[in-house]
Amino acid sequence: MSSETRPLRSAAWFTRLDNTGFEHRTHLKARGALPDMFEGRPVIGIANSASDLVPCNAHLTGLADFVAKGVLEAGGWPLVFPTMSIGDMMMRPSGMLFRNLMSMELEATLRANPLDGVVLLSGCDNTAPAYMMGAASVNLPTILVHGGAMINGRVGNRTVGSGTDIFRMHADYRSGRMSKEAFGDAEYGMSRSNGHCNTMGTASTMGSVAEALGLSLPGTAMIPAVDGRRYSSSQLAGRRIVEMVREDLVFSKVVDRRALENAIRVNAAVGGSTNAILHIIALSGRLGIELKLEDFESNCMGIPLLANILPNGAYLAEEFFDAGGVRALMAEMKDRLHLDAMTVTGKTVGENIVGAGTADPNVIAHFDAPVKQQNALRVLRGNLAPNGAVIKPSAASPHLLRHTGPAVVFESVEDLDARIDDPDLDVDEDSVLVLKGIGPRGYPGMPELGNIRLPAKLLARGVTDMVRISDGRMSGTAYGTVVLHVAPESSVGGPLALVQNGDLIALDVNEGRLELQVPAEELARRKAAGSVSVEPRGRGYERLFFEHVLQADQGIDFDFLVGGSGNAAPLRRPF
């Protein structure tokens, strides 16, 4: 059916000449809507996650104005609506706890209202994946506009990056190499403008992933938040979403298996956050596309690190954008991408990257001369992680990628806080730090505590990295030889729960192996001797999360959200 004859979804609300249609129209006319707004204009929702509680997203209302301008220019009708906002810098216990809630809110809002297409305004870590998951479930024409990174941090005469340099300075402060006053003063220089973290943390990663999926206009993911091109590209997104509605270019026509594989490969090339694994798996579940950890590993194989950005490299988001951004990086690795995958432009990936290439090979390397050869992701399996665990080799210490050492076990975050800096803690640089109870159900919400801080007495001796293992996550801005997402988690009886102090743990990243070197009979005895039982926590949404969350290898979505609801207009009000 052509765009001229295919009825708009919003028509189910606005064309009725009865009490229901009257009510829909009259209340919008009270807001100044002209009669011709109801006469076949595509109605575009602009989902705005701006919030003063989430500084990364605080500037998004300004972008909404430019999106709305573009929608009007293209003959559409823009309607801005607020959603909850998730900020990992302040929300407790973890922003990830609320990702599924935000996706549910967006899904319900899109389905319940007269919208023909949607533009998603995202920023901080979990915002983009929550929005993508919710929009995928409804399957309207969709464009994601990322809010952009803040400008480079400056502390003294040094350029510093969000998160990554915080971890370094905190280690210096704890070891006595940085004064309390200097540590506090650094806060003023670390974050200097609107925008999200300027390293390749989860926010920059998910912006890159959205562009690689084809959900954002090409070349826009890494525009800094304060750059004027961030506003003009938002206006272009407003124009384009109206055309997408007329073309019936819905979410599922853009994001298919080819797009997901492109996103995984681009994530490897940018050295993206391990959190992207969880988000892409959850997104694939909403689309009904089976995606497993092995698919990540197979798609990452042979793809080196091309983006020289902290925490894997030396530069920040500004330099990455100046060097050509995600579009240039995709051009440099075009032989490893599905160039025929469709995008929101109505053109393929291959068409979008014609003429692109790196403007600075020090920042975005050529494929045959990469920043690092190590893969950005390795899936680990063994008796300690039968359903898988992950590590980011590009951010790890090469000498620890094959290591065997005795476990130093912390049963909880509270236990870690109480003992990690105890001078009498039996630990050295060969030890393997193990933290239990920070998985999806155990904490709950799988917090970013997996990059366990090193004992103060080892920091004072100059130790900068150790093997660390947990069932939790770590910030995309973090670094180190850190094994994450161990599944099943300890709080549901996973083998991690059985680890005791002194047990030898063997890590071999090249072989993809994580083994607890304890006889099977002894592990069976331990399991029989003590059962793991975590009482349901909280009420309301937190209780819902506890009861329905899936494990890390399944994307920690809810079991009842796998699949989609569709975009058919709900039953009308009986008025």
Strands in 504-508's sheet, in edge-to-edge order, are 385-391, 378-382, 513-516, 504-508, 402-410, 432-435, 467-470, 482-483
Token digits for 213? 């999926």
The partner residues of 469 in beta bridges, in order of sequence, read 434, 483
Using CB atoms within 10 Å of the CB of residue 27, give its burial: 0 to 12 exposed, 13 to 18 middle, 19+ buried.
Answer: exposed
What are the domain boundaries of the chain?
Answer: 11-151+195-302, 155-192, 378-529
- Tell me which residue of 197, 164, 171 sits closest to 88, measured CA to CA: 197
Angle (CA) 3-4-8 rounded to 5° is 65
Residue-wise DSSP of 110-129? HHHS--SEEEEEE-STTHHH
3-state secondary structure 524-564: HHHHHHCCCCCCCCCCCHHHHHHHHECCHHHCCCEHHHCCC
Is the CATH number 3.50.30.80 carried by domain 378-529? yes
How many Cβ atoms are within 10 Å of 532's Cβ, its own excluded? Answer: 17
The model's pLDDT over 66-91, given as tens digits with 9 standing for 90+, comes to 999 999 999 999 999 999 999 888 88
Q: Which amino acid is at 255?
A: V
Angle (CA) 188-191-197 rounded to 5° is 155
**8 A C-beta contact, residue 332 and residue 357:** yes
Check pLDDT > 50 for residue 3.
no
Q: Nearest 10 degrees: CA dihedral of 436, 441, 444, 445?
A: 100
**Mean pLDDT along residues 456-484:** 93
Token digits for 31? 């807001």
What residue has token string 């929300």?
91
The model's pLDDT over 244-295, given as tens digits with 9 standing for 90+, comes to 999 999 999 999 999 999 999 999 999 999 999 999 999 999 999 999 999 9
End-to-end CA distance of the chain: 32
The model's pLDDT over 10-64, given as tens digits with 9 standing for 90+, comes to 999 999 888 888 988 999 999 999 999 998 999 999 999 999 999 999 999 999 9
What is the structure's pLDDT at 534? 74
Percent of the chain at pLDDT > 90 equals 80
Distance in angstroms (rounded) separating the CA atoms of residues 374 and 463:
23
Distance in angstroms (rounded) separating the CA atoms of residues 49 and 127:
8
**Mean pLDDT along residues 475-504:** 94
Alpha helices in 74-163 (DSSP H): 99-112, 127-138
pTM for the complete prediction?
A: 0.94
Distance in angstroms (rounded) separating the CA atoms of residues 422 and 435:
16
Alpha helices in 4-141 (DSSP H): 11-14, 19-29, 60-73, 99-112, 127-138
Chain mean pLDDT for the chain: 93
Token digits for 226? 């304060």
The CA–CA distances, whole Å, from 43 to 67, 225, 231, 429 equal 13, 27, 21, 60
Token digits for 325? 């951004």
Question: What are the φ/ψ torsions at residue 293 (nearest 5 degrees)?
Answer: -55, -35
What is the structure's pLDDT at 88? 82
What residue has token string 């909880």?
412
**8 A C-beta contact, residue 446 and residue 439:** yes
**Mean pLDDT along residues 216-236:** 97
Check pLDDT > 70 for residue 241.
yes
Three-state secondary-structure class, residue 500: coil
Percent of the chain at pLDDT > 70 equals 98
What is the structure's pLDDT at 175? 85
Distance in angstroms (rounded) separating the CA atoms of residues 490 and 434:
11
The model's pLDDT over 542-574, given as tens digits with 9 standing for 90+, comes to 999 999 999 999 999 999 999 999 988 876 655
The CATH architecture assigned to 11-151+195-302 reads 3-Layer(aba) Sandwich (3.40)
Distance in angstroms (rounded) separating the CA atoms of residues 218 and 264:
17
Which stretch of DSSP H or E encloses residue 158? strand 158-160
Distance in angstroms (rounded) separating the CA atoms of residues 442 and 97:
11
The DSSP output letter for 491 is G
Is cis: bond before 536, omega within 30 of 0? no
What is the structure's pLDDT at 4? 53
Is cis: bond before 311, omega within 30 of 0? yes
What is the structure's pLDDT at 5? 61
